[in-house]
Structure 1
Amino acid sequence: MNILVIIPARGGSKGIPHKNVKELNGKPLICYSIDAARQLTTDENICVSTDDDVIIKVVEDYGLKVHFKRPAELATDCAGTNGVLLHALEFYEKQGRKYDVVVLLQPTSPFRETKSLKEAVALYTSDIDMLVSVKEAATNPYYNSFEEDAEGLLVISKGDGTIERRQDAPKVWEFNGSIYVINSTRLKEVGLSKLNRIRKYVMDDLHSIDIDSMFDWYMAEKVISSHLIEN
């Protein structure tokens, strides 16, 4: 497959200022995803999409060329990932480089393993829209998850409420934000939100850590300092 790895990294992080270049265990956060991408393909097929000059400098000091600066309208708080991916694909297509597959690696997932990334890509086939990494959902809607009814009373979110043990409930998965393997043709046809033929790749909670807040950051540091994971 002809693969383009896209690492989206806008500069306007609110929860953790300049999160993408903040050092985790002595290495800028974004560099963990660059290292993972380099185990999958060559630098010419790795795209860091950013609007931020500081991020560009950090990435290029790490040896990866940033070929374009993301437009401001794709770097606002309201801008979605779909536009970022399409913009990157269009940039390369104008250079005569077309890609069958986009592998999206969020820089906020520093603990994804090379093994997981390669296994996920290997599971992808061209007859699906997307393969995504998941973990077992922390809250199962069939058990111990409730919503309000018309009277303002709590009712079980899904099912008939007869499941008494969590292990008896059907397994439910949630995206962990680590790996997305996307059919680029379908992405251009219908957009990211309408991709519906989706296959999963399961990861454990530890390797699924997604850094979105300072609490998440402290947890990541604790994982490293406790030698629970190799980095």
Structure 2
Amino acid sequence: MNIVIIPARGGSKRIPRKNIRHFCGKPMLAHSIETALASGVVDKVVVSTDDEAIAEVARHHGAEVPFMRPPELADDYTGTSPVVCHAIKELLGMGWSLDYCACIYATAPLLSASQVSEALHQLQQSKWDYVFTAARYSFPIQRAIMQTDSGGVVPFDAHGITQRSQDLPPAFHDAGQLYWGSCETWLDSKKHIFGANSHMLVLPDYQVQDIDTPEDWERAEMLYELIKQKTRS
């Protein structure tokens, strides 16, 4: 069985109730659930939450909530991997037969169903530990500058800042949307998502947007509508 686990805790300080706040007509969480189910490669979507209201929204939109996340895994400091590993262990304990597991964030409304299936296909056809979504930095990170305590500037990379942009290798960052791995890989603490044996599914820039502030939210809604128009045309 291939599953998607969506971490969706109740506490969100910068945008209150972010995971179930309406985004372009439906709860934010619903977008991730529906995208996973529409991919054609996912048997079940499981939402890991500590919040009954989130659980209710998840079930309404087709996900399952077979357990509630314990408080010690629902604070501001808990990473994604411990949450996914906890969910996998809970499901195995319930007798679920698990093969591949994806983590999709609750705040990934720009992710497409075809990208969910493509990432799994790449994983299954390879020896990668993980396949995850990423994006390319639009400006060479080697030419970054930092502000000093006195208000001046210093180069982040003294050598790189002297180089032409076209002579510098491209750099990428985690898109914060999708991560596929086998359930065995997720439970192996020696295998890391951002390790040498992981592979990137690189997304176009217009599909990547952190949603941490009201301004982020507004920009993400505009991108979502533009993507919908592009798809219709």
Scaled by the length of structure 2, the TM-score of the pair is 0.85
Secondary structure at 2:227's aligned position in 1? coil
Give the unaligned 5+ runs of structure 2.
none
Partner of 1:212: 212
Give the secondary structure class of the aligned counterpart of 2:96: coil
Question: Please, which runs of 5 or more residues in structure 1 have no aligned partner?
Answer: none
Give the CA deviation at 1:114.
1.3
Q: Aligned partners of 2:222, 2:156: CA distance in 1, in Å? A: 35
Q: CA RMSD in A?
A: 2.5
Instruction: Give runs of aligned pairs for residues 1-231 of structure 1, distance below 5 A.
Output: 2-40=1-39, 45-125=44-124, 127-142=127-142, 144-146=143-145, 154-157=154-157, 159-164=159-164, 166-190=165-189, 193=192, 196=195, 197-224=197-224, 227-230=225-228
Would the aligned equivalents of 1:133 and 1:176 in 2 still touch at CA under 8 Å? yes
> Residue 108 of structure 1: CA displacement?
1.0
Quote the offset at 1:168 in angstroms: 3.2
CA contact (8 A) 1:135 1:208 kept: yes
Whole-angstrom CA distance in 2 between matches of 1:141 and 1:63 = 41
**What one-letter code is carried by the residue in structure 2 that aligns with 1:169?**
L
Contact 1:43 1:64 in 2 (8 A): no
Distance of aligned partners of 1:42 and 1:119 in 2 relative to their CA distance in 1, 3 Å threshold: closer
Cα separation, 2, equivalents of 1:18 and 1:37: 22
* Contact 2:130-2:193 at 8 Å conserved across structures: no
Q: 1:188 to 1:147 in 2, by over 3 A?
A: same
Following superposition, the deviation at residue 200 of structure 1 comes to: 0.7
C-alpha separation between the residues in 2 aligned to 1:140 and 1:161? Answer: 9
Distance 1:77 1:95 in 2: 28
SS in 2 for 1:131: strand
TM-score, normalised to structure 1, is: 0.86
